[in-house]
Amino acid sequence: SHEALEGWEVQACGGLPGWARRPALPFSCVLLFSWELLMQIKTVGVIGAGTMGNGIAQVFAQAGFAVVLFDAAPGAVDRAFKTIDKSLAKFVEKGKLSADDAAATRARLTGADSLEAFAGVDYVVEAVVESLDVKRQIFGALDRITRPE
């Protein structure tokens, strides 16, 4: 077991096998990846460029992943990049991130104008409106576009 998982129980959390739960936090679950699988992820696709989506995209980019960001709403990706740029600038201003690291983070972010750009991503995060019909449509398209694994 990895030290990072110390105090976590591997169990069927929320009915899904392979999840972990910290006993002190009964409703806090995280999916466990094998390190081999995690190391294969180079590019992350984020669907939805609103508050959640742009934050998720920024975190992945700061962690060193290439990120493809898509939103069906016209102008949403551009607005997300402006929000991310402001956030990175604040981190630089406060000394929490170097200007070079902020620039490298921003360089890892690209926008997409269709889900077809997700054909080559290794991992997809969905952060769209809470509508079952929208989610079904997105995941149906992803089934056709993304690699089977």
Q: What is the model's pLDDT at position 94?
A: 96
Which helix (H) or strand (E) segment holds residue 17: the answer is strand 16-22
CA triple 50-143-68, angle to 5 deg: 35
pLDDT, tens only, 54-75: 999 999 999 999 999 999 999 9
Q: What is the pTM of this model?
A: 0.76
% the chain with pLDDT above 90: 69
Q: What distance in Å separates the CA atoms of residue 71 and residue 92, rounded to the nearest whole number? A: 27
Whether the CB-CB separation of 109 and 82 falls below 8 Å is answered with no
Q: What distance in Å separates the CA atoms of residue 101 and residue 87, rounded to the nearest whole number? A: 13
pLDDT at 29 over 90: no
State the average pLDDT over residues 33-50: 81
